[in-house]
Amino acid sequence: MDPSARSFVALRQVFLLAELPDAKLESVSRRCQWRVLPARRFLMHRSDPRREVLFIVSGAARVTSYSDSGRQVSFRDVGAGDCVGVLAALDGEPRSADVVSTEPCVLATLSNEEFDTLLRAEPVVARAVMVHLSALVRQASARLIELSTQDVQSRLRFELLRRAESARKPGETAVRLKQFPSHEIVASLISTGREQVTRELNKLIRDGLIRKDGQALVITDVAELRGLVQSQEAAPVDLTAIRSVKRDEGTAAGRGV
C-alpha cells in the first residue's frame, strides 16, 4: 500500500472526520487498521456480529442484501469519503446488510470501542454521525414513497437522473456514466426485474435520450431527462399502499449497516 494512502491526510475526505484538527485526525489514523481490498470482495456480511466502522479512503462499494425469497435488493452505492458499519457500532446489533466492493478499495478500520471513545470526545464527529443517520432516514423515506407510488419507467428515470446529476460538471449538457451497472444491478436498485430494465433502457435509446459507449452509458441531454422526471404527475400519497409494500422491499430500504 502506498504510505500516503495511510496518512491522516487520506482520512480528511471522510465526512465523519472532516472537521477534526490535524493532530486528532492523525491520532485516529494511527488507531485504524489499514488494508487494500480487490473488487468483488465483501467488506462485511449481513448478520455478522462484528461492530467495527470502515472508512472508505478510495474505491467504491455497494450496500446490498437478499430477501427471504432470494431476491437481491441494493440500497445504495458508497465511495471514497463514505463509511459503513456505523449502525452496528452504535447499537451493538449484527450487520443489517452486505457490503461488496465494486472497485479496489483502500479501507481504514476503527474498532467499535475506539469509535465510541471518539464520539464521546469529539462533538464534531458525534454531530456528523447524527447528520449521517438523518440522511439514511430521509433516503429510506424517499425510497419507500418511490416504490409505493412510481412505476418502473419512473423509477428508472429517477435513478438515471440521480447518477447524471452526481457525475455532471457545471455547463455540461451530456453526461457519460462510466462503467454503468449491469441491468441486473439496476433492477435490484429500483426493485424490479432485469427484463423490465432492459426494455425501458431500450426505449430511452430509441428516443435518443441515452446511448451506449462501451461499458459506459451516455445521457445525451440531462435537462431533457430532468424535464421528463419533473413532468411526471405526482400521484396523491396513498398511505394504505405504502403500508402494504412488501416487507422485504420497504423494510430493507432503511438498512444502512
What does CATH list as the number for 151-231? Answer: 1.10.10.10
Quickly count: other Cβ atoms within 10 Å of residue 168's Cβ: 17
| pLDDT reported for residue 253 | 44
Any idea which residue has 472526520 for its cell?
17
Q: Quick check: 76 and 188 in contact, CB under 8 A?
A: no
Lookup: cell for 166: 452526481
CA distance 9 to 14: 10
Please tell me the pTM assigned to this model: 0.71
> Was domain 3-147 assigned CATH 2.60.120.10?
yes
Residue 6 has pLDDT above 70, yes or no: no
Alpha carbon of residue 12 to chain centroid: 20
CA distance 168 to 86: 29
Q: Where are the domains of the chain?
A: 3-147, 151-231
Q: Quick check: 65 and 102 in contact, CB under 8 A?
A: no
* pLDDT bucket at 11, cuts 50 / 70 / 90: very high
| pLDDT reported for residue 68 | 72
Nearest-10 Cα torsion for 204, 206, 207, 208: 90
Give the model confidence (pLDDT) of 198-241 as tens digits.
999 999 999 999 999 888 899 999 999 998 888 874 444 444 44
CA distance 31 to 51: 15
**Residues in Cβ contact with 185 at an 8 Å cutoff, skipping those fewer than 6 apart:** 62, 74
Nearest-10 Cα torsion for 52, 126, 137, 33: -20
* pLDDT bucket at 94, cuts 50 / 70 / 90: very high
Query: Percentage of the chain with pLDDT > 90?
Result: 57
Quickly count: other Cβ atoms within 10 Å of residue 15's Cβ: 15
Q: What DSSP designation does 230 have?
A: H
Give the model confidence (pLDDT) of 44-82 as tens digits.
999 999 999 999 999 999 998 877 777 778 888 899 999
| pLDDT reported for residue 25 | 95
CA distance 190 to 75: 9
* pLDDT bucket at 149, cuts 50 / 70 / 90: confident
* pLDDT bucket at 2, cuts 50 / 70 / 90: low
Any idea which residue has 445521457 for its cell?
219
CA distance 195 to 192: 9
**Residues in Cβ contact with 189 at an 8 Å cutoff, skipping those fewer than 6 apart:** 74, 159, 181
